[in-house]
Amino acid sequence: MAYSIINGKELSQKIQEEIKEKIACLKTCPHLAVILIGDNPASQTYVKNKEKACQNIGIKSITYHLDKDIKQQELEDFIIELNNDKQINGILVQLPLPKHLETEKILSLISPLKDVDGFHPLNTGLLVKGSENAILPCTPKGIIKMLHSVKEDLSGLNAVVIGRSQIVGLPIAQLLIKENCTTTVTHSHTKDLSAITQNADILVVAIGKPDFINKEHIKKGAIVIDVGINKTDNGLKGDVDFDSAKTQASYITPVPGGVGPMTIAMLLENTYLAYLNQTTP
């Protein structure tokens, strides 16, 4: 069966061009504050990519690179300062945080209106309720756009999500339910995984294990979304063994050039929308 690639890089660039045109019509430019703590190399790379993307489309971004030993209270005070700064429309705290910091407390301190990552409990609650007012987490929002780029109506499809993280697995499951998919969430305790995944019309894999999923797990004609970004001795690998999976899939996302660029496009979109929400015309 012939498969097609869902090209996240191309789709992301198209979305970024559209946001850039809208920003060019604004009187002032949206402003994103990024907090990077410590020296995790992957986080540093992600933040650099986000900064570059902001610059390209006219979003002002400032990265605050804070010491890895920063105290919880100091970080909380800093976030409150950013919340109160009327010039700033979006606040992003790059995860993971060093172990001594309380991630949930930090995320819940960010003003929900400036929470461009969509990780604040209020935005999580709005997402679960299916509210249009939720700021949606970037990766799941990008995945839904990728699915819609190849299939307008997802109603009634069997969707299986592998992984139940707060950042991807849980929110993408909620969004798939909102799309009227019959949605199953699997995880490390799931028994006979392939019996479940073989029933999936849409398979979203976010488990963080290189080449974990192959053709044995995939129903003929399935749409396969690979969220994994795993550094290996053989380079960057997704969670899906692409060469094996493509023999079964109808559509499949590559790594790199799939979900990753869409996450960035959605961050830019969320920042633009947060700006509009905070700015009276």
**Site for ligand GUN, rule CB under 6 A:** 92-95, 117, 138-139, 167, 263
What CA–CA distance (Å, rounded) separates 185 from 177? Answer: 11
Q: How far is the C-alpha of 164 from the C-alpha of 145, rounded, in Å?
A: 20
Nearest to 146 by CA among 216, 215, 227, 217: 227
Query: What residues pair up with 64 in beta bridges, in sequence order?
Result: 35
Using CA atoms, how far apart are residues 151 and 149, in angstroms rounded to an integer? Answer: 6
Nearer CB in complex with ligand GUN: 209/215: 209
Q: How far is the first Cα of the chain from the last one, in angstroms, to the nearest whole number?
A: 52
**Token pair for residue 171?**
């929110």
- CB closest to ligand GUN, residue no: 95
**Closer residue to ligand GUN in complex, CB, 230/244:** 230
Helix (H, G, I), strand (E, B) or coil at 185: strand
Which is nearer to ligand GUN, 170 or 196 (by Cβ)?
A: 170
Smallest distance, ligand GUN to C-beta of residue 184, A = 23
Give the SS3 label for residue 222.
coil
Beta carbon nearer to ligand GUN, 96 or 156? 96
Looking at the annotation, which residues are catalytic? 50, 94, 117
Least separation in angstroms between CB 24 and ligand GUN: 26
What's the closest the beta carbon of residue 91 comes to ligand GUN, in angstroms?
10
CB of 179 to ligand GUN, least distance (A): 21
Q: CB of residue 266 vs ligand GUN: minimum separation in angstroms?
A: 9
Q: For residues 89 and 276, what is the distance between their CA atoms, to the nearest angstrom? A: 9
Residue with Cβ nearer ligand GUN (3 or 256): 256
Contact at 8 Å (CB) between 91 and 82? yes
The backbone torsions φ and ψ at residue 8, rounded to the nearest 5 degrees and listed phi first, read -65, -30
Helix (H) or strand (E) holding 24: helix 8-24
